[in-house]
Amino acid sequence: AQSVTQPDIHITVSEGASLELRCNYSYGATPYLFWYVQSPGQGLQLLLKYFSGDTLVQGIKGFEAEFKRSQSSFNLRKPSVHWSDAAEYFCAVGPYSGGGADGLTFGKGTHLIIQP
């Protein structure tokens, strides 16, 4: 079965500093990988996705992520964070297969706190 691990439950970063959120996945084939952001009381917004090709993908709001097959990782980065980036970030892999629903498998999320 596929799985996603986000090792950091909470991360605190100063405004203007760089950010890296970690994501490791377990999947038997070439994965489809996603990063979503959830602001308090809101739904999930897609930041970026990786399907194939260039392993460095650009997303919205200045985010990027790098797919590293050898490390089974898909870490999210941003060179300079803004206070508005404070939110919950979810890494996800899809599709789920093997007898279950055909949806995304999510990590448990990383809560990002921005210090002024």
Partner 1 sequence: DTAVSQTPKYLVTQMGNDKSIKCEQNLGHDTMYWYKQDSKKFLKIMFSYNNKELIINETVPNRFSPKSPDKAHLNLHINSLELGDSAVYFCASSSGPGGYEQYFGPGTRLTVT
Q: Which stretch binds partner 1 (CB under 8 A): 11-19, 62-70, 74-82, 92-100?
A: 92-100
CA atoms of 68 and 97, how far apart (whole Å): 22
| Cβ closest to partner 1, residue 27 vs residue 85 | 27
Enclosing H/E stretch for 44: strand 44-50
Count of residues binding partner 1 (CB under 8 A)?
Answer: 26
Choose between 1 and 17: whose C-beta lies nearer to partner 1: 1
- Cβ(21)–Cβ(89) under 8 Å? yes
Q: How many Cα neighbours within 13 Å face the side chain of 87?
A: 20
What distance in Å separates the CA atoms of residue 39 and residue 48, rounded to the nearest whole number?
16
14-37 as b/e, with b when 16 or more CB fall inside 10 Å?
A: eeeeebebbbbbebeeebebbbbb
Pick the piece of the chain touching partner 1 (CB under 8 A) from 12-20, 39-47, 66-74, 76-84.
39-47
76 vs 105, beta carbon nearer partner 1:
105
Which of 17, 69, 103, 115 binds partner 1 (CB under 8 A)? It is 103
Instruction: Kindly list the residues in this chain that would bind partner 1 in the complex (CB under 8 A).
Output: 32, 34, 36, 38, 42-46, 49, 51, 88, 90, 94-96, 99-106, 108-109
